[in-house]
Chain A
Amino acid sequence: MYLLRLAMASLANRRFTAFLTAFAIALSVCLLLAVERVRTEARTSFASTISGTDLIVGARSGSINLLLYSVFRIGNATNNIRWDSFEHFANDKQVKWAIPISLGDSHRGYRVMGTNESYFEHYQFGRQQHLELAEGRAFASDPFEVVLGAEVADALKYKLGDQLVLSHGVAVISLVKHDDKPFTVVGILKRTGTPVDRTLHISLGGMEAIHIDWHNGMPARGNERISADQARNMDLTPTAITAFMLGLNSKIATFSVQREINEFRGEPMLAILPGVALQELWGLMGTAEQALFVISLFVVLTGLIGMLTAILTSLNERRREMAILRSVGARPWHVASLLILEAFALALAGAVSGLALLYIGIALAQGYVQSSYGLYLPLSLPSAYEWKLLAGILLAALLMGIVPAWRAYRQSLADGLSIRL
């Protein structure tokens, strides 16, 4: 115990260097833990976004691409598919339910999704949880009604009955707006922790209505414009949608329905199993994750070597200290363990403040990360794996402490009480 007190007192004497060394370790520990936490949370949030859906169908592209744009609202669709293709498969006898999805517009950076009632009824996330409304109702027959995700309502401070204008395209600051056809907020969904929170849901009819007077890729001008009231009385059956999700009567039939869609003669389409696409995505992300992990491990190693250097360089100027210790009865192994304790104390201080930095960082960045990346970082206690990483760092510090300890041991044996500098 007195050894520990001595080590602390000695460190306190060199507090500025000690502080910098511990700070370097803290930063590296914080980086390592942050990489680990973002990695696990990203996986969790991806895995919990979709559940219970057997097939996702879209225009022919890659399976990961289709999964990303249809479920996670990342990237864009390569092409639309025809409405009658959707109807063909929605009425297939193997299909239990079908959710059409129409994407492409946005509202202040949040994506707008056109769909129908079956979305609220059949879409599942997490462990087969259904969507629930926090307030209001789902959109009904009027095309200009919108149901907000929890995040959208929170961030933009919308409440039931508010009017909002959708913009064309997916830019955050949009120059082309559908301002002649405002939408009314009729419902707000409960928070799900998935991209649903960041989506505005309108009916397919609404999606059709805001584009009904567009010609040649631009809105109509002058008296060619169709007002919202006129649009209400028109046929708003969509001609095309972006993708659709299918639930099947029997999981065993998944492959045959998938094959049937992929070989559909009407138009080229791609059907994917979300679970398989997710696995492929993780395989892809795995490489980047590993690279990040290895880099942060090396940063920790650099921090520890910095500590080692600081202790080693201080050894020479501390010969007098050691001599005094020897003069009051310390044995060489006392001197050695003093230095190991010092290294351990520095690493411990670094690890603890690194953990503190991580939590401060998470607390500060939580809101921003969730709104811009849809990633929820909880302020939870370190996981078993994170504890193991911390223990590993402390162990490495102990092992590194042996180097200066050995040198000090040799020196104090040779020097004894008289120092020949």
Chain B
Amino acid sequence: MRRLLLLLALIASPSLWAAETRLLTWEEMVPPDAPKVAPVMTPLHDLSKLSDTLAVESSPAAHQLAPDAPMVKALDGQQVRLPGYIVPLEVSEEGRVTEFLLVPYFGACIHVPPPPPNQIVHVTSELGVKVDELYQPYWIEGPMKVKTSSSELATAGYEMEADKILVYELPDS
């Protein structure tokens, strides 16, 4: 707790990190010239379109809409700070999450397709973070690595080895 407070105090003084750390938003992780993906409009439950629904049922399952989503290559190697929600992948014996996916919204919303690869950061952390509530947002800070897809097997994605993980709090204003 004390360490966390210390970190908070360090970060509260902007001059310490503003120089090299870039405050990143999720929109900035999509290249501005990225092609627009045509939305697929299929209502979940609409009996008047039962035949359409059945047609969809018999067709193969929907894939991620843009599996080869473009990445912002300029972010590679940059020290960034980014807020998001933690989706735990690995939990250590002490109950700390040491590997997780950082996503811009909480919960797997079933109304829209899952976020494309350029809206997910795969984060590893040696120390880990104690996650009590899944709907608690966190600040993650660390060097960003951009992996572009070269083959079919390797999916593109953002990766980060987190230096700091802090509870996101609403700014007092």
* CB < 8 Å neighbour of A275 from B90, B122, B133: B90
Query: Using Cβ atoms and an 8 Å threshold, which residues of chain B touch A283?
Result: 133-134
Question: B113 within 8 Å of A by Cβ?
Answer: yes
Query: Using Cβ atoms and an 8 Å threshold, which residues of chain A touch B87?
Result: 254, 273, 275-276
Question: B92 within 8 Å of A by Cβ?
Answer: yes
* Closest chain A CB from B73 CB (angstroms): 16
A252 to B116 CA separation, bound complex (whole angstroms) = 9
A275-B67 contact, Cβ under 8 Å, with A250-B157, A251-B101, A252-B155: no
Query: Using Cβ atoms and an 8 Å threshold, which residues of chain B touch A264?
Result: 61
In the complex, the chain B residue whose C-beta lies closest to that of A282 is B95
Question: A256 within 8 Å of B by Cβ?
Answer: yes
Question: B154 within 8 Å of A by Cβ?
Answer: yes
* Closest chain B CB from A79 CB (angstroms): 20
Query: Using Cβ atoms and an 8 Å threshold, which residues of chain A touch B120?
Result: 252, 255
* Closest chain A CB from B45 CB (angstroms): 14
CB <8 Å contact, A265 and B57: yes
Query: Which chain B residues in 47-64 approach chain A with CB under 8 Å?
Result: 57-64
A153 to B80 CA separation, bound complex (whole angstroms) = 52
* Closest chain B CB from A376 CB (angstroms): 12
| Interface of B: prevailing SS | loop
Query: Using Cβ atoms and an 8 Å threshold, which residues of chain A touch B114?
Result: 255-256, 258-259
In the complex, the chain B residue whose C-beta lies closest to that of A94 is B155
* Closest chain A CB from B151 CB (angstroms): 10
* CB < 8 Å neighbour of B61 from A48, A126, A263: A263
CB <8 Å contact, A252 and B101: yes
Q: Which residues of A contact B (CB under 8 A)?
A: 43-44, 47-48, 51-52, 54, 93-94, 126-128, 249-256, 258-260, 262-265, 273, 275-276, 278-280, 282-283
Question: B89 within 8 Å of A by Cβ?
Answer: yes
A252-B117 contact, Cβ under 8 Å, with A260-B61, A265-B60: yes
Interface size on B, residues (CB 8 A): 41
Question: B100 within 8 Å of A by Cβ?
Answer: yes
Question: B94 within 8 Å of A by Cβ?
Answer: yes
CB <8 Å contact, B152 and A93: yes
Q: Which residues of B contact A (CB under 8 A)?
A: 57-64, 67, 87-95, 97, 99-101, 103, 108, 110, 113-115, 117, 120, 122, 131, 133-134, 152-158
17 contacts between A and B (CB under 8 A): A44-B93, A44-B94, A47-B92, A47-B94, A47-B95, A52-B90, A251-B89, A252-B120, A253-B64, A254-B89, A255-B101, A255-B103, A258-B108, A259-B113, A265-B60, A276-B87, A276-B88
CB <8 Å contact, B101 and A254: yes
CB <8 Å contact, B157 and A255: no
* CB < 8 Å neighbour of B89 from A48, A54, A93: A54
* Closest chain A CB from B93 CB (angstroms): 5
Other than the given A252-B155, A255-B114, 11 more pairs (CB < 8 A) read A47-B95, A93-B152, A251-B157, A252-B101, A252-B120, A252-B122, A263-B62, A265-B60, A265-B61, A273-B88, A273-B89
